[in-house]
Amino acid sequence: MYTEIVPSCSKATLQRVIRGKVSLDSVIYSDGWRGYNGFVDVGYGKHLRIDHGKDEFATDKAHINGVEGFWGYAKTRLVKYRGMHTHSFSSHLKECEFRFNYRDHNIYRLLLKIFRDQPLKLS
């Protein structure tokens, strides 16, 4: 899972973010948001959509359960704050991203390994 705060949900903005993170030979799975239009036009070979407006949540080949699961996970973690300042939201969201991506790992041991392998440099 990768998250990024974007200035808008426009097609150009979303394509820029996705092209920076997703290989062109990947299959893109999305919902029907119009901002996701045009992925095939910019070089992606396949784009499969789920149309929630037609009560569609999965097809034989496509689902977006991973993304839906992440947002459920993030909302559950963030609701305990009862709101937060906008300047700290991105940090909280990145923490949720990290915890979600490593939810099957021992976070304590993983963080120790990261801190050992990449110690903070004091200037």
pLDDT tens, position by position, 68-93: 889 999 999 999 988 889 899 999 99
Which CA distances in Å does 80 have to 21, 26, 62, 85?
30, 36, 32, 14
d(CA 50, CA 72): 18
> Could you tell me the residue ranges of all domains in the chain?
1-63, 67-123
104 burial level (CB within 10 Å; 0-12, 13-18, 19+): exposed
Task: Tell me what the mean pLDDT of segment 89-112 comes to.
Answer: 95
